[in-house]
Amino acid sequence: MPLRIHHVDLPMGDPKLVEEFYRGVFGWTPRAKLFRTIKGWSNTWADASDGVLLEYALNDGSYITFISTKQPEYSKDEPHIALLMTPQELEVVRSNLERLGLAYEENEENLSFYDPSNLRVELYITPRTSEAT
């Protein structure tokens, strides 16, 4: 059985908007930013033909990769990513969404919003451990 996710690979629309969005909402900067060339992926824009790959590392060593060469075909509530956060982390994200004027929905279970490629992002609170009685 798998221990955890190694990575998730998702299509994206405009790489600049996606990079700005995840930096503004989560404070993420890509651990890798690659450009598609005739010979494959490169670290430099000089040889780029089309396509950008943005890779974001998570605290557990897994990562999320967004690739512009795979066009998103997201529709409401279909594909999504769900992230587990502490209550403090969720409060920071909620504050960032409000500061950036981004719409979100919140219920008893999660807080959710859409990224620039219309990918639904759901945030869940880490389970609270029961206190000893």
pTM: 0.80
Cα 132 to Cα 86, 128, 129, distances in angstroms: 21, 12, 9
* Domains defined for the chain, CATH in brackets: 7-125 (3.10.180.10)
pLDDT for residue 130: 46
Q: Which residues pair with 63 in a beta bridge?
A: 7, 57
Token pair belonging to 62: 């897994």
CA-closest candidate to residue 17, choices 95, 119, 86, 116: 116
Separation CA 94–CA 112 (nearest Å):
10
Residue range 38-62, pLDDT digits in tens: 777 777 776 666 788 899 999 888 9
